[in-house]
Amino acid sequence: MTPMTIGWAASAAVIVAAGLWFSWRWRRLSWRYASLEAANGELQQSLDRCRNALRALEGEYSQLTDRLPVGVLTLSSEVVRKANHKATILLGKGADSIIGRPLVHLDIPYDLLEIIRRVAELRAPVHEAITFGDAQPRIMDVVAVPLLPGEGASGEILMLINDLTELRRLETVRRDFVANVSHELRTPLATIRAMTETLQDGAKEDAEVANRFLENIIQEVDRLTRISDDLLILSKAEIGTPERRSVSLVQIVRDVVERVRSQAEAAHINIQMSDSPDSWLEGDPDQIEQVVVNLVDNAINYTLPGGSVLVTVQEQSDSVTLLVRDTGIGIAQKDLPRIFERFYRVDKARSRRTGGTGLGLSIVKHIVEAHGGSVSVVSEFNHGSTFTVTLPKNSSFKENEQ
């Protein structure tokens, strides 16, 4: 074999060996690529599952927080990241105008921004009550807590906002109610005690004085009884759900008018009921009658001799309206917003003379609203008043919230 032949054979062997090596390497790389491709597919599937799970969790979070009665905000670097439906209502803004925007660009109370900055600085919870708004201020209970660690304001913060305005109003009503009840009870009790002590000190020996004192004591006891009865009626109207029965409002009005006619005639007041077709509604007959009695009695007591009271029932497609008009002394504009408050009296002297407790109109308001209706008044001082009660025919009774 010649040297040239040997050289060609060696070259061929090298080429074959190189081909075999490259073929092996190629197959090995192909196997690795296939393995990487399979792993990448599995990784992509896992990533998709994680994304779907995250979206599901975010959906559950949104559903959960949107059902909460408090506002929920998540913030990072003083930027709103999430806000539930209640939070948008309390802040008076839409979700699109809140989420993703810095707080400094939003029209929010400065105290709220200060709470967030304190939490970011201290990395500790802050709990405060602040006031929202100027024209109609609302009291908000704010709780802010740090969530994720971060430098300064970069960490996430969870904020809960609860509107305490109605609760504070009810607390004020309760305190005023207790104070008013105590005052109303103290006056007749003090009178009874003073007259009783006077009788014990010898006034009982004077028959004329003794009889006068005893008559006054009986009047004060009657007054206490009326207060007690009205408080029980008011309590039932506030707490209990009205009984659902078919009620003829026209028949109730007719009965009440006939019952008080002698009282009106004795005061030289003309009381009339306008002709009305029979109107039926669902409600508690005793409570509906109490509404009519209180409004008619109120009209008589505040109408001067020679005046008149007119009671009218009007029927609409889905409601019945009661109107009680009088030509009495009327109500000053400054008193109109408060006449349905407990123990509020426009004319205290007249109320005491007529035996009023100051609870009648409050009872009317609570009974009417418990039946899903409304009550209003139009009045002008020295030109009479018109009270209007509208009741649905098919009452959707309201559960008491107080």
- SS3 sequence, 201-245? CCHHHCHHHHHHHHHHHHHHHHHHHHHHHHHHHHHHHHHCCCCCE
Q: Does 165-239 match 66-163 at the fold level?
A: no
pTM, two decimal places: 0.58
Res. 374 pLDDT band, cuts 50 70 90: very high
The answer, yes or no, to whether residue 88 has pLDDT greater than 70, is yes
CA atoms within 13 A on the CB side of 45: 6
Res. 21 pLDDT band, cuts 50 70 90: low
User: Position 127: which residue type?
Assistant: H
What homologous superfamily is domain 242-402 in, according to CATH? Histidine kinase-like ATPase, C-terminal domain (3.30.565.10)
Give the C-alpha separation, 383 to 316, whole Å.
Answer: 28
Give the C-alpha separation, 238 to 9, whole Å.
Answer: 113
pLDDT mean over 83-93: 80
Q: Which of 101-115, 335-349, 372-386 bottoms out in mean pLDDT, i.e. has the lowest?
A: 335-349
CATH architecture of 165-239: Orthogonal Bundle (1.10)
- CATH for the stretch 66-163: 3.30.450.20
pLDDT of residue 323: 93
Question: Quick one: which of 105, 106, 129, 103 has its CA closest to 116?
Answer: 103
Give the C-alpha separation, 161 to 78, whole Å.
Answer: 16
pLDDT of residue 307: 92
pLDDT of residue 153: 47
pLDDT tens readout for residues 47-65: 777 777 767 666 666 666 6
Of the two residues 55 and 354, the one the predictor is more confident about is 55
pLDDT mean over 97-114: 79
Question: Quick one: which of 301, 322, 327, 300 has its CA closest to 311?
Answer: 322
What residue segments make up the domains of the chain, in order of their start? Answer: 66-163, 165-239, 242-402
